[in-house]
Structure 1
C-alpha cells in the first residue's frame, strides 16, 4: 500500500468514527456547541491487502477433520493416502494459497510411515490417524523442504495438506 492510500484510509476511518459519534464533519460550518456523547476510543487502522503472507507456521499443526474408525497408522506401517497440498497462507481463505499437488483423480500415495520416504511433517502428522480419517496438516518449512525449492514450492515455504487415510498395511 502506498503512503498516500494509507493516509486516505486513516482519514476515511477518522471521518467515519466522527460521524458515528454524532460530530459534524470537519468541513461543515460550526453549529452551537451541543453536548456530544462520549466518543469511543479510535480503533487502530486496518491495513488491507498487505503483500506479506502473515506469520509463518513455526510448528506442525494437526487438525482432525474426521476421526477414522479403522486400523491406526504407526511407524513402520505401509499406508495409502489421498491428499491435496497448498502453500500455507494464514491470511487466505482456509489458510490455503496456491494448490501445488493432489492425488485426487490419480492413484493414492503409498509409503512406509517413519522411514523418511516423505517429508518429515507427513511422517509425524499421519502417525496416529485411523483408516477413514481426514486430517489437515500445516507443516512448517523445516519439516517440509526447508531452504530448497520443490517444483512449484518456493524455498522456506510452510505447506497445508488435506490427507485422507485409506489403508494401513
Structure 2
C-alpha cells in the first residue's frame, strides 16, 4: 500500500517527459510541420501516352511539378517545391530512384502522378532548404520526348 503513491508519481513523471518531445534543435528547417511519406511508390496514369516508351538507356524530356507529400490532403499535394522542364538519361542514376522509377514505362504524351516514399527520395537527410528529412514527394509528370 505504501508503494502505491510513489509508483503512480513515477509513472506520471515518465509520461509527462515522454510527451515533451525532447528536441531543442531545428530538425525541420523547411517549415513543414507535418512531415509524412507514403508507404510505397505509387504511380497513377492520368493520361496514357501513345508515343515511344521511356526505358533504361533512353534520354527523356519532360515537364514536372514537385510537391511535398501531405497525407492530410485528398490529393496528397502539400507545399509546391518546384516545377519546370527537365531532361535526363534513364538508368544513369542522375535523379532520385523514385523519380526514375516513376518515369520508367511512361509513353510520350502521357501524364502521370507519382508518390515517392522518403526511402526512394531524399531520405533522412532531406534536401535543404525545401525538403525536410523523411519527406515523401508527389510528382506530376508529362513526358514530351524519348530519344
TM bucket, shorter chain = 0.7 to 0.9
Larger radius of gyration: 1
How many residues in Structure 1 have an aligned counterpart in Structure 2?
A: 115
Q: Return the TM-score normalized by structure 1.
A: 0.64
Gaps of 5+ in 2: 1-32
| Cα distance in 1 between the residues matched to 2:42 and 2:97 | 13
* Aligned residue in 1 for 2:115: 138
Residues in 1 aligned to 2:110 and 2:142: alpha-carbon distance in whole angstroms: 6
Aligned Cα root-mean-square deviation (Å): 1.8
Q: 1:113-128 alignment to 2 at 5 Å?
A: 113-128=90-105
Residue 95 of structure 1: how far off its partner (Å): 1.0
Moved over 2 A (4+): 52-56
Match of 1:94 among 75, 87, 91: 75
Structure with the bigger RCO (C-alpha within 8 Å, sep 6+) is 2
Task: Tell me the TM-score normalised to structure 2 length.
Answer: 0.74
Alpha-carbon distance between aligned partners in 1 of 2:139 and 2:52, rounded to the nearest angstrom: 21
Match of 1:83 among 60, 64, 71: 64
Q: State the secondary structure of the residue aligned to 2:98.
A: helix
Q: Which has the higher strand share?
A: 2
Gaps of 5+ in 1: 1-51
